Amino acid sequence: MSRILDSRQLQAFVALARCQSFTRAAKELFLTQSAVSHAIKSLETEVGSRLVDRAGRRVMLTQAGEQLLRHAERIVREMEAARAGLDQLTRWGHGRLRVGASTTACQYILPTVLREFKQSFPKSVITIEPGDHARQVELLESHQIDLSIMLEPEAERGQFEFVPLFQDELRFLTSPIHPWARQGRVVRESIEDETFVLYNKVSYTFRLVAEYFREEGIVLGHFIELGSMEAIKELVKIGVGIGVLAPWVARAELESGALVDFPLGRRRLRRTWGVAHLRGRRLPLGEETFIGLCRAVTENFEHVTRASAAN
């Protein structure tokens, strides 16, 4: 197999063809004349053809030199473009950000984070891929995204690095006119008779809720599934059913009294949110900044959960 031509020799050859002088080419490349001469001789040896002829102080290309020049100029231009692109990526405010996020994160976390991020990286190209937990894992594994705001992946997924942001707790949410709210407590015996308004049956959260109640020996016989947290809250507020949500998702409604929350039971159902990426990746400045902003934006979410649990 033929060896790949040396890029420095090609650069010297292109400069010599343009300047038609070893002296001027050496000056342009910040090299000595002998270094340019050596590069051209080595290139001629590599390609097996004489590339230049000397006519006094002037240098002219041979037929082989003219043919090689057409390719060499294109190669040098591509190398210069590649270097310029890489240099631009290292400049503040440039680059790309490919982020995935669950529907909940898209609605309650991303807007504030992206607003802050754009102030620091105004020229960054941002791509957002929404999707449930399984979709986020798939996007990360296929390199379609670089980061994902998601619940902590299952332990067997060792290919991911997970940066924790906060821990929440899933709790019952009811309208203030629900019997539980009037009594100030959950009537455990009535749980199986209630209608629940739950998030997407194929979601990771639904699976966590289903497993929790199965382990508690409780069957949720009646439920409505929806793909929107806002829709769930609205149905719960008008008394259609009971929701199972994290307090930070319904902070405004809980503070205003439009919703009331209760623990699921003596055993808490906690989840850990964070930012996941493929293990072993060295994160560029933009991605490190994004994670830092996620941490800053969500730092009080855990406080909201603790405050609800204390009431």
Instruction: Note whether 292 and 262 are same-domain residues.
Output: no
Q: Looking at the domain assignment, is residue 200 inside a domain?
A: yes
125: pLDDT strictly greater than 80? yes
Q: What is the pLDDT of residue 86?
A: 61
| pLDDT per residue as tens digits for the range 250-291 | 999 999 999 999 999 999 999 999 999 998 888 888 899 999
Is residue 310 a part of any domain in this protein? no
User: What is the total count of domains within the chain?
Assistant: 3
Whether residues 184 and 198 share a domain: the answer is yes
39 lies in a domain?
yes
Whether 1 is covered by a domain: the verdict is: no
The structure's pTM equals 0.68
Residues 172, 295: one domain? no
| Within-domain flag for 311 | no
- pLDDT band (50, 70, 90) for residue 55: confident
CA distance 60 to 47: 18
Question: Is 207 part of any domain?
Answer: yes
User: Could you tell me the residue range of the domain that residue 284 belongs to?
Assistant: 96-165+273-302
The domain that contains 185 carries what CATH number?
A: 3.40.190.290
Check pLDDT > 60 for residue 153.
yes
User: Taking 70 as the threshold, does the pLDDT of residue 311 lie above it?
Assistant: no
Q: Which has more confidence, 56 or 186?
A: 186
> What is residue 231's predicted lDDT score, i.e. its pLDDT?
94
The Cα–Cα gap between 195 and 211 comes to: 18
Mean pLDDT over 62-75 rounds to 89
pLDDT for residue 219 is more than 70: yes
**Residue 78's domain is classified under what CATH number?**
1.10.10.10
CA distance 297 to 116: 10
Comparing 24-38, 260-274, 297-311, the range with the smallest average pLDDT is 297-311
3-state secondary structure the chain: CCCCCCHHHHHHHHHHHHHCCHHHHHHHHCCCHHHHHHHHHHHHHHHCCCCEEEECCEEEECHHHHHHHHHHHHHHHHHHHHHHHHHHHHCCCCCEEEEEECHHHHHHCHHHHHHHHHHHCCCCEEEEEECCHHHHHHHHHCCCCCEEEEECCCCCCCCEEEEEEEEEEEEEEECCCCHHHHHCCCCHHHHHHCEEEEECCCCHHHHHHHHHHHHCCCCCCEEEEECCHHHHHHHHHCCCCEEEECHHHHHHHHHHCCCEEEECCCCCEEEEEEEEEECCCCCCHHHHHHHHHHHHHHCCHHHHHHHHHHC
pLDDT of residue 170: 95
pLDDT band at 1 (very low <50, low <70, confident <90, very high): very low
| Cα gap 140→51, rounded to integer Å | 50
User: Does 154 lie in the same domain as 15?
Assistant: no
pLDDT at residue 151, rounded to an integer: 92
298: CATH: 3.40.190.10
Higher pLDDT, residue 202 or 146: 146
**Confidence check: pLDDT of 243 > 90:** yes
Residue at which a domain ends, from 40, 65, 87: 87
